Chains A and B, each alone.
Chain A
Amino acid sequence: MRFVASCRLLISLLIVSLPVSWLSADDTPRSKVDEYVDTLVEIFDVILDQHIEPPTRQEMVLCFLRRIHNEQKPQKLAELSRRVSEISDKHALYELMRSELKSVYPDASLPKGLEDFNLSWLDRAVPGGVRVSTPKQSNVQQQLAANRYVGIGVQLQNRTFKKIMENGPAAAGGILEGDELVEIDGQPTPKAMEEIVDRLRGPEGSAFRVKVQTGDAAPREIELTRSVVVMKSVTLVSSDEELGKAHIAIDIKASTPMELEKLVAQLPEKIRHLTLVVQFDGNFHYFVLFADAISEKGTLGKLVTRQGEQEIKTNPGTVLGGRVVIVTGDEDNVQNRLLSFLPTQVRIKVPREVSYPQPVYLSEPFRIRNGESEVFVGTRRFEPVINYPISVGIRR
């Protein structure tokens, strides 16, 4: 909800900043091609405005032209490259995109791959790549980050239930691992995985019926109500009471501080040393809250942006491009805050600085309207898993 609110503003600002003359230059009804190019213009503007290492507009336009023309025509590409590099005016560049698109697809029908906004052709120009997701996908990502995934709590492989989450509606309804999904709401299970998932997902509280089968037994019908399936983001990987060590894996989500607090409070008395290995999938807000939860002043690292380096201690707000240098820890800060909920006094070792050889890029997705439909655009989330070992020794 929050990012939609903030994105609305950003997008509206972007739209407002487009010259009115350009938008209304053409009085004829806008074709599909026009709409498509307009949306790309918005996406390019977002990238230029928000990415930490943005390409030039020309580079992105050239990527687009490479994509619509067959890349096998080097001569054509060389000519386009020359033309693009000569144009500095933004509107002229977009007119070129429009006219080239119309020349390749005169009947105003878009080739497959463009229609669904697969922007992998931009990867060549944009560090970190550009990812487009549907509102549905984006919604699921947000649900996962906030640890309030709405569903029935299963993992499927084709029609087979691979995993049943213990606190989910499927488990409560008696679905077993290995069961076959025969029917959904009286209809045979679709073949395509996407379609199955589509049918199983839905709003919280909505109910539907499935028919499942265990082995060769008679299929049974089960009514399921979709609900929030809370997942673990903090896991005790191992604990060795003799050595007094425990290893905790953390995948930062909204629930992490609360989970960590509970888990650590219930560790056996003999544990004297904890190692927290932290993964972070790119949701900055929850990263900051996690940092704040275990460190008194909430500084766990630095965020490197176009504006320079800044400590991660407040919400970065609308910073969307960024490279994170994890993590300069201040031992005392981390220790003081952790002490407030650890079962006994602790001594923590935090690496002074752990920087990652590969820059990582992130962005919260933007919502962009394209006619009736809408898409979410963002640069790729953190691909590299960030392992951030915090070593916690317990003094007794």
Chain B
Amino acid sequence: MNRCGLSCTWLLSVCVCAQLVCSQESSPIQRPLVTSTADHSIVYVVGARPGKVLQLKYEDVQQAKDITEELISAAADTIATNIIDVQVDAQGSNLWLLCDSPARLIRQPLPSGEAVVHELPIRPARLALSPGIDGNGFISVTSPLDRCFWIAERTSEEKLSGHVAQLDMQPQEMVWADKDQLVMADATNGSIVACYTDQLYRALAKDPHKGHESILKSAKLTFNGHHLAGLALDAERKEVVITHQLLNPLARTDTDDIRWGQLIKNSLSTIPIQRLSTGQLLLEVTRTYQLGDFGRGAGDPAGVAVLGERLAVALSGTNQVALYSRSKHSASFVAVGHVPDRITQFGTDRVIVTHRLDNRLAILKLEDSSLKLEALLGQAPTFATAEARGELAFFSAHLSRDGWMSCQSCHVNGRSPDLVVDTASDGYFDTPKKIPSLENVVHTGPWSWLGDKLTLADQVNKTLADTMHTSDKLPESSGIQRETLVDDLIAYMSTLKSAESSVSQVSSAGRALFDEHCANCHKPDQHYTSDKSYDVGLRDERSREQFNPPSLNGVRYRSHFMHDARWSTLDEVLSAHPSADKKFTDEQKVLLKSYLNSL
């Protein structure tokens, strides 16, 4: 199998390759991650070699036609493992490493020095340093799983005093618009928070439990789109660039609507930073650029970098990078590795691309799409297990007609953007239904809102055939095996578990209320769903009244409820759920909500 693809022009064998391979047999290679210094002249690479920070210099790469091993040098040692994000501070004197399990933030002085470890109270995703971090500044870490972010003021070299701010969104990507303004995007839904951190931090320091909610509430903006997977600033810090998708509930999952970009759009939007704080509807000030075109979707735009009027966007679904010129309204596309998702500016005219499912670095020149330097750090991924193949397929837009979408486009990170889509999965068009979450999906049969798919394979086959229009023949470079596709996807889906709640104490009164009024259909021993369908007093456009209850695992992540996404808060659901046999008092609602948020 030629999984690296024939297009890999230059492959690098790292000098310690043999050692690396040995150590990988016990622990799989971690994807390389990069960060660049403030002037973008040096990038640091972590994760590719355990215990090592590597570096690449722009001046060396500029004239290179190949990434030879001399170009990559060891910059420092590190104790960090399970690294999920990395940032170098403005002076280039410290590397900040965000690690998962255990959740830690590690400051690694460069080129050497003793690492300082900070335990984190949240399940982290991304790390960002405010521009002033060398003196007094902030460090922030987002947590989509805990629906919060951690913000710490750096008061001395060793000490960080951090606080957790809860949000009613799942923040993932973030950028500091200036040293006091932090912008965070919801990777699943369409929310943005743009908050002034100084004010927020003071409120949190005064009382970590209250006072900051109103600040965050007014900082939340509704963005027209979902799957906000990339966030960047332009060099002048005048506008923020967001990559996202737009799903149209009026369009159908037929070939024509897909091909003309009516069903789902792969987009790039810009918002002037000065308008972020006004709390106004973003629609008025947002400019949107489309990356997809007839016959060529640009599935799952993710990481983005802005270099003047040119932008580089990782298309994690199609395994490409789009090099977009805003003045020409056109893009050229460069093939890279499996699931490219992050892009970092390198030098004045290049970007460096890393991948979610590949150990590859790609260096691209924005003005010359033919110039690609590539380095494979360690082994090429083999996707030997069904689960690994399934993960690759889940993120691949090759499954869809012309590459407009992947599974991830709608079931973002296994959860749901809570939008409705007209897939005819229920047999008809013009009956759009809410996208289900895939948390614990293998245990929540029967599937679909009507509960008419008795096996998960039935549902997956239906979705592949009628929603995505998966071809019988997939390009070999995609690395996906068509013959085992359904089994592979199910193997991957069996790993999509609902995240444990951070709520430590479950109110027994809430649980009692739930057991009495809800558990008949949302059965706790069946992942809070049931194998039957029920009439809850609602009907769809075809007058169908029997729906299979959705699992309530992870209900705290949802922003809309019921088959048509008609309600947007649990309060509304508890007030209006047509099958509720009683009216709950306000006090009971509080108890029930706290119980639901623990599921």
Contacts and interface: CB of A to CB of B under 8 A. Distances in A.
Q: Do A and B come from one complex?
A: yes
Interface of A: 1-2, 5-6, 9, 146-148, 230, 254-255, 257-258, 261-262, 265-266, 285, 288-289, 292, 296, 298, 314-315, 317-318, 336-337, 339-341
A147 B257 CA distance: 11
Contacts of B329: 262, 265-266
Given A148-B255, A254-B260, A258-B260, 6 more contacts: A5-B428, A6-B429, A257-B262, A258-B261, A289-B248, A289-B257
Given A6-B429, A339-B283, A340-B287, A289 B294 contact: no
Interface residues of B, number: 31
A315 B250 contact: yes
Given A5-B429, A254-B262, A266-B329, A336 B284 contact: yes
A239 B174 CA distance: 42
Q: Which of A230, A288, A315 has the most CB of B within 10 A?
A: A315
B256 interface: yes
B541 interface: yes
B430 interface: yes
Q: 3 closest Cβ contacts across the A-B interface?
A: A146-B256, A317-B430, A340-B288
29 contacts: A2-B254, A2-B424, A2-B429, A5-B429, A6-B429, A254-B257, A254-B259, A254-B260, A254-B262, A258-B261, A258-B290, A258-B293, A261-B290, A289-B248, A289-B257, A292-B248, A292-B250, A296-B283, A315-B422, A317-B430, A317-B541, A336-B283, A336-B284, A339-B283, A340-B224, A340-B286, A340-B288, A341-B288, A341-B289
A1 B290 contact: no
Contacts of A296: 283
Contacts of B541: 317
A289 B259 CA distance: 14
A217 to B, nearest CB: 36
B252 interface: yes
A1 B255 contact: yes
Interface of B: 224, 248, 250-252, 254-257, 259-262, 269, 281, 283-284, 286-290, 293-294, 329, 422, 424, 428-430, 541
A187 B209 CA distance: 86
B284 A258 contact: no
B152 to A, nearest CB: 37
B290 A285 contact: no
A9 B254 contact: no
B262 A318 contact: no
Contacts of A265: 329
| Most chain B Cβ neighbours within 10 Å, of A1, A9, A254, A336 | A254
Contacts of A266: 329
Nearest to B281: A336
B262 A340 contact: no
A298 B541 CA distance: 19
B256 A148 contact: yes
B173 to A, nearest CB: 21
Contact of B428 (A1, A6, A341): A6
Given A148-B259, A255-B260, A285 B294 contact: no
A288 B151 CA distance: 45
A50 B254 CA distance: 24
Contacts of B422: 315
A285 B428 CA distance: 14
B430 A254 contact: no
B252 A2 contact: yes
Contact of B284 (A9, A147, A289, A339): A339
B260 A147 contact: yes
Given A265-B329, A315-B429, A341 B250 contact: no
A299 to B, nearest CB: 12
Contact of B262 (A5, A9, A289, A317): A289
Contacts of A289: 248, 250-251, 257, 262
Nearest to A332: B284
B427 to A, nearest CB: 8
B283 A318 contact: no
A338 B250 CA distance: 18
Contacts of B287: 340-341
Contacts of A298: 250
Contacts of B254: 1-2
B290 A337 contact: no
B283 A285 contact: no
Query: Considering residues A6, A285, A296, which has the most beta carbons from chain B within 10 angstroms of its beta carbon?
Result: A285
A287 to B, nearest CB: 11
A53 B501 CA distance: 58
Contacts of A318: 430
Contacts of A341: 287-290
A339 B270 CA distance: 12
Nearest to A230: B294
A255 B294 contact: yes
A100 B289 CA distance: 65
A132 B255 CA distance: 25
B236 to A, nearest CB: 19
A320 to B, nearest CB: 13
A235 to B, nearest CB: 17
A234 to B, nearest CB: 12
A255 B259 CA distance: 9
Contact of B256 (A254, A314, A315): A254
A64 B155 CA distance: 92
A318 B541 CA distance: 10
Given A230-B294, A258-B261, A314-B250, A337 B283 contact: yes
A6 B541 CA distance: 13
Contact of B424 (A5, A147, A285, A340): A5
A315 B284 contact: no
A288 B249 CA distance: 11
B332 to A, nearest CB: 16
A230 B295 CA distance: 11
A250 B126 CA distance: 45
Contacts of B262: 254, 257-258, 289
B254 to A, nearest CB: 5
Contacts of A262: 329
Contacts of A6: 428-430
